[in-house]
């Protein structure tokens, strides 16, 4: 049986059951009493070995992370540190399937490695076996599911765009370039352009795919490879776009909050979390500049922020943390945003763009309306010095039945870091990729 079945099944299975898994913890009480916590990826089970069972070769040589099979009878016991799920397996027979090393190579030594972050990252394949990291990975899976549920409930069609591309979306400086059969190609920064192309065939669409950014600096929220949740919607207004971003974040947060397993992990890891409530605070870029000036935030050169400045990460986070609620930060000047963003009707200097800022993490979503007029798009390419030739398929959307449309991208790792109240995005990655790290 799987350990999960035991926890969920009532009443307890009768007779002898068999559990196979990895030795999570060993506690030797006496020569005739031993507790072995076994992990099978679905849960933890305390196994009790007494008398002759403790004297077998397998018991005497047992090491952490060995695989074992244990036959025994299940008893209900008080939940607690020793019995994580409220059950205990009283062993009648047990056997090692594959022995893990002991001595200096033992798993104990790896897990005890004084938490030097670089060593722990090198040993990520082992660290992932620990309770905390595996809870986070399981949580991540539930959150991915919750995003899909939101999109399915709202009739978005899922697509899987190519990740090897010959165009850029978010500026050339963070492209990873590689040789594609003798031609230059890049790892995608965003699937946005591809999502736009399928609006006429599929209606509202979304994708959950890896995006890549050659970010040179190491920060606690930048990865070189991250999971990007992106959506694109046709015939919407800028106001609709803001509402959709807000609804996505509220739906997913509530779904997880009310989920029996994910909700429990969330409350354990981040006891102070509560799902955010709509409407979120809406603040324009111009209001943001005023806020920074009123709160004494200055540029690195000591002068105040003025219209047109790109607001760096630190003051933006200071503002978000001070206000301490989600902010839909919108209407950025064209100079600091991408070539595809249309202007606001009321003020031609500004774009129909939005970032969702969350306390503790900062920007978790970037989105905008898209230029849908052909002439305007051509000017956008020109302004950014982009050769339109390889973008012909994107440009064609403005020639064959254009429409007002928009979308957004959400960084899954930043979203998870925010929900779980963690410090660093790398803690929510299976195998994080950032400057200087491409292993394991």
Q: Which does 409 bind (CB under 5 to 8 A by kind): Mg ion, ligand 4AD, none?
A: ligand 4AD
* Token pair belonging to 387: 């050769």
Per-residue string for binding with ligand 4AD, 366-405, x by CB under 6 A? xx--------------------------------------
* Token pair belonging to 412: 């899954």
Give the one residue of 190, 320, 331, 353 binding ligand 4AD; rule: CB under 6 A.
190
Query: Nearest CA to 59 among 67, 69, 49?
Result: 49
Q: With binding defined as CB under 6 A, does residue 342 bind ligand 4AD?
A: no
The residues with which 178 forms a beta bridge, in sequence order, are: 185
Smallest separation, CB 363 to ligand 4AD (Å): 5
Q: With binding defined as CB under 6 A, does residue 236 bind ligand 4AD?
A: no
Burial tier of 51 (Cβ tally within 10 Å: 0-12, 13-18, 19+): exposed
End-to-end CA, the chain: 32
The residue among 36 and 341 lying less far from ligand 4AD, judged by its C-beta, is: 341
Which residue's entry shows tokens 């200055």? 298
**Degrees to nearest 5, angle at CA 276 with 275 and 282:** 170
Q: With binding defined as CB under 6 A, does residue 213 bind ligand 4AD?
A: yes
- Asked if residue 127 lies in contact with residue 111, where contact means CB atoms within 8 angstroms, the answer is yes
- Asked if residue 408 lies in contact with residue 354, where contact means CB atoms within 8 angstroms, the answer is yes
* Token pair belonging to 32: 């005739």
Q: With binding defined as CB under 5 A, does residue 366 bind Mg ion?
A: yes
Residue 230 is given by DSSP the state E
Smallest separation, CB 269 to ligand 4AD (Å): 20
Q: Write the DSSP string, 237-280.
A: -HHHHHHHHHHHHHHHHHHHHT-HHHHHHHHHH-TT-----SSP
Residue 386 is given by DSSP the state -
Restricted to residues 29-68, the positions that interact with ligand 4AD (CB under 6 A) are: none
Q: With binding defined as CB under 6 A, does residue 196 bind ligand 4AD?
A: no
Q: With binding defined as CB under 6 A, does residue 169 bind ligand 4AD?
A: yes
Q: Which does 407 bind (CB under 5 to 8 A by kind): Mg ion, ligand 4AD, none?
A: ligand 4AD
Q: With binding defined as CB under 6 A, does residue 414 bind ligand 4AD?
A: yes
Which residue's entry shows tokens 């959150």? 143
Q: With binding defined as CB under 6 A, does residue 222 bind ligand 4AD?
A: yes
Which residue is nearest to Mg ion, using beta carbons? 366
Q: With binding defined as CB under 6 A, does residue 199 bind ligand 4AD?
A: no
Smallest separation, CB 225 to ligand 4AD (Å): 8
Regarding beta strands 157-158 and 205-212, do their DSSP bridges make them parallel or antiparallel, or are they unpaired?
parallel
- Asked if residue 94 lies in contact with residue 47, where contact means CB atoms within 8 angstroms, the answer is yes
Smallest separation, CB 366 to Mg ion (Å): 3
Region binding ligand 4AD by CB under 6 A among candidate stretches 6-14, 280-288, 300-308, 363-371: 363-371
The residue among 43 and 366 lying less far from ligand 4AD, judged by its C-beta, is: 366
Question: Under 8 Å CB-to-CB from 364, ≥6 apart: which residues?
Answer: 249, 356, 357, 358, 410, 411, 414, 415, 418
The number of residues that bind ligand 4AD (CB under 6 A) is 25
Give the one residue of 140, 150, 228, 337 binding ligand 4AD; rule: CB under 6 A.
228
Q: With binding defined as CB under 6 A, does residue 215 bind ligand 4AD?
A: yes
Q: With binding defined as CB under 6 A, does residue 407 bind ligand 4AD?
A: yes
Q: Which residues bind Mg ion (CB under 5 A)?
A: 366
> In the complex, which residues of this chain contact ligand 4AD (CB under 6 A)?
169-170, 189-190, 192, 213, 215, 222-223, 226, 228, 230, 363-367, 407-411, 413-414, 425
């Amino acid at each position: 049986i799987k350990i999960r079945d035991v926890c969920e099944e009532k009443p307890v299975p009768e007779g002898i059951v068999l559990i196979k898994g990895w030795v999570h913890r060993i506690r030797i009480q006496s020569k005739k009493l031993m507790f072995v916590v076994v992990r099978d990826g679905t849960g933890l089970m305390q196994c009790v070995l007494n008398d002759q069972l403790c004297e077998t070769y397998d018991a005497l040589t047992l090491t952490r992370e060995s695989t074992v099979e244990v036959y025994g009878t299940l008893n209900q016991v008080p939940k607690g540190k020793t019995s994580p799920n409220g059950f205990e397996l009283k062993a009648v027979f047990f056997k090692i399937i594959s022995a893990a090393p002991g001595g200096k190579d033992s798993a104990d030594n790896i897990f005890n490695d004084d938490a030097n972050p670089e060593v722990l990252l090198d040993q990520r394949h082992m660290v992932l076996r620990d309770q905390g990291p595996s809870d986070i990975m399981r949580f991540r899976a539930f959150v991915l599911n919750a995003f899909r549920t939101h999109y399915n409930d709202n009739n978005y069609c899922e697509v899987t765009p190519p990740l090897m591309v010959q165009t850029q979306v978010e500026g050339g400086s963070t492209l990873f370039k590689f040789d594609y059969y003798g031609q230059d190609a890049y790892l995608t920064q965003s699937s946005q352009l591809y999502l736009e192309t399928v609006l006429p065939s599929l209606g509202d669409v979304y994708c959950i795919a890896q995006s890549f950014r050659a970010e040179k600096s190491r920060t606690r929220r930048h990865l070189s490879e991250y999971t990007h949740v992106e959506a694109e919607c046709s015939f919407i207004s800028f106001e609709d776009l803001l509402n959709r971003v807000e609804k996505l974040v509220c739906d997913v947060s509530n779904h997880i909050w009310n989920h029996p397993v994910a909700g429990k992990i969330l409350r354990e890891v981040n006891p102070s979390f509560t799902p955010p409530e709509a409407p979120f605070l809406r603040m324009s870029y111009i209001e943001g500049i005023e806020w920074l000036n009123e709160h004494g935030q200055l540029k690195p050169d000591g002068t105040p922020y003025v219209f047109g400045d790109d607001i760096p990460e630190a003051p933006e986070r200071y503002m978000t943390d001070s206000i301490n609620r989600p902010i839909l930060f919108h209407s950025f000047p064209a100079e600091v945003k991408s070539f595809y963003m249309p202007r606001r009707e009321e003020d031609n200097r500004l774009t129909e763009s939005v970032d969702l800022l969350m306390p503790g993490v900062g920007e978790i979503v970037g989105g905008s309306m898209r230029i849908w007029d052909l002439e305007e798009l051509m000017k956008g390419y020109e302004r950014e010095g982009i050769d339109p030739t390889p973008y012909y398929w994107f440009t064609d959307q403005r020639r064959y039945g254009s429409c007002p449309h928009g979308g957004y991208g959400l960084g899954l790792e930043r979203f998870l870091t925010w929900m779980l109240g963690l410090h660093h995005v790398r803690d929510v990655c299976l195998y994080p990729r950032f400057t200087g790290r491409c292993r394991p």
